[in-house]
């Protein structure tokens, strides 16, 4: 039905429906059972400056660790992250490679986010150009 779903830790529980799942792995398992090939749960708890995203696939879980970056007021991170994954998949990357590359790219985007106006700091696509990458 769908290749990759990219909810954060709160969204995955909501998407799993009723009854409320008791854990993130249970919620991800429900999404896989309903047709998602992969569920990338983002926004794992920062421990020692490291965040952990978890990529659930049929019978497997892969951890994607990346630096925790404080970016107060940022918005659009989920959209940019999933768009980066989609671009990588369109260029032939595997789902795990796309998810890992997107996590690295998002780290750079958050480090270089620029606040302007009265809103939060948007996560811009320019870090890919600065880093010399051709894929967001």
Q: What is the pLDDT of residues 77-134, one digit of tens each?
A: 788 889 999 999 999 999 999 999 999 888 888 777 766 555 555 545 444 444 455 5
**Domains of the chain as residue ranges with CATH:** 2-130 (3.40.1190.20)
Stated pTM of the model: 0.82
Q: CA of 41: how far to CAs of 52, 75, 107, 118, 121, in Å?
A: 9, 18, 16, 30, 23
- Nearest residue to 31 (alpha-carbon basis) of 55, 53, 51, 52: 55
CA 52 to chain centre: 10
For residue 130, report the phi and psi dihedrals to the nearest 5 degrees: -60, -35
Residues 23-61: pLDDT tens digits?
999 999 999 999 999 999 998 666 788 888 999 998 899
């Amino acid at each position: 039905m769908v290749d990759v779903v990219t909810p954060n830790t709160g969204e995955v529980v909501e998407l799993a429906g009723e009854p409320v799942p008791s854990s993130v792995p249970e919620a991800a398992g429900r999404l896989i059972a309903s047709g998602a090939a992969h569920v990338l749960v983002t926004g794992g708890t920062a421990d020692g400056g490291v965040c952990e995203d978890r990529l659930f696939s049929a019978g497997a879980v892969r951890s994607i660790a990346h630096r925790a970056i404080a970016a107060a007021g940022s918005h659009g991170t989920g959209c940019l992250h999933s768009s980066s994954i989609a671009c990588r998949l369109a260029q032939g990357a595997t789902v795990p490679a796309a998810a890992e590359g997107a996590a690295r790219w998002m780290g750079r985007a958050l480090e270089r986010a620029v606040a302007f106006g009265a809103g939060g700091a948007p996560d811009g696509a320019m870090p890919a150009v600065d880093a010399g990458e051709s894929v967001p």
